[in-house]
Structure 1
Amino acid sequence: MLGRIVEALARLMAVLGGLVLTGLILMTCLSILGRSASGVLNADWMPEGLGAALLGLGIGPIRGDFELVEAGMAFVIFAFLPITQLKGGHASVDIFTNMLGLRANRVLTLLWALLFAAAMVLIAWQLWQGTQDKMRNGETSFLIQFPIWWAYAASLVGAVAAAATSVYIALVRLAELATGDAILTGEGAEH
């Protein structure tokens, strides 16, 4: 039951991350097109009245696109961490561990899972502290003046989901070591 809840959470975060990433890609493409069009409309050979009229319609780069990409990508990275951890998709180098036995590999897998869980809990805690701090001081972005704490809070949602998933994986790895059974199957990145 808990496994299904964790998997549903991880999938939901991955879908949200994918939607935000798609939006950021579209916005970046539109901003690049606008920037190129602005360059053409400001060219010396462009009739002054026509260029100015089209620029007056708002043709140009998206204001604050860099700030939005920066804030959005922080969320996207944290949103993809839960499914990556759940599916064992992190990169690994198995040259030496392939020579070890099953039990030794389970011990190493448990140690890595515990380390990752501890790191994710610490990151989530620090993001919580950062969100609180940014809310208190009212810091905003330079160009579009959105509150910085919004980006921190969005990243915090992903970090909490990643921390919860990581703690679950560590507990599963502990149970696998204790029982000798493989609980999580069909995982791992293709190399």
Structure 2
Amino acid sequence: MFLMMALTLVDVMGRYLFSMPVTGAFEVTELMLAAVIFLGLPLVTAEGGHIAVDILDSALSDWVQAVQYWVIGVVNVLAFGIFSWMLWEHAFKVLRYEDSTAVLEISYAWLAFLMAITASVSAFILLIQMLFDRNGKTSKGVQ
């Protein structure tokens, strides 16, 4: 984040004070932003920071909450698993086509593989969380 801020500062100052912007600053900022987002994904997943709506949870019985826990867990693991699988396919396609940025010609392959790896790690974390509750409970349901 600091590098993105510093690059933007130098680019803006160079553009307005010296009429010399940093060549390719927009491309590098885009790449760094995507990297920051995907590097944070496993961390947010591990600490359970994804959006959750629990309006009706207090009105549900323990048995229904246990079923809900498993259904939501399976849906989350499947969604992240499919997302990871699609990112892996995309990463290999980017590598095969040798896609790169327009100005600096930086390869997109490293970013595509980073995205695939971090999404896969997040899917694995969700699977572990589903099997072993964060409070140390086993997967036998809500206690």
TM tier, smaller: 0.7 to 0.9
Specify the alignment match of 2:113 in structure 1: 153
Which of 172, 178, 185 lines up with 2:140 in the alignment?
Answer: 178
Structure 1, unmatched stretches of 5+, are 1-20, 40-59, 182-191
Deviation at 1:180, TM superposition (A): 4.4
- Total equivalences in the alignment: 140
Distance 2:67 2:130 in 1: 11
Regions of 4+ moved over 3 Å: none
Amino acid at match of 1:101: S
Specify the alignment match of 1:31 in structure 2: 11
1:87 aligns with 2:47: yes
Specify the alignment match of 1:22 in structure 2: 2
Structure 2, unmatched stretches of 5+, are none
Amino acid at match of 1:61: P
Distance 2:40 2:69 in 1: 20
Q: 1:177 to 1:22 in 2, by over 3 A?
A: same
Amino acid at match of 2:8: T
- TM-score normalized with structure 2 length: 0.81
Which of 74, 79, 84 lines up with 2:34 in the alignment?
Answer: 74
Distance 1:83 1:156 in 2: 15
Distance 1:150 1:86 in 2: 23
Distance 1:64 1:73 in 2: 14
Superposition RMSD in Å: 2.2
Larger Cα Rg: Structure 1 or Structure 2? 1
* Deviation sequence 1:26-83 (CA, Å, 0-9, x none): 22222222222234xxxxxxxxxxxxxxxxxxxx322222222222222222222222
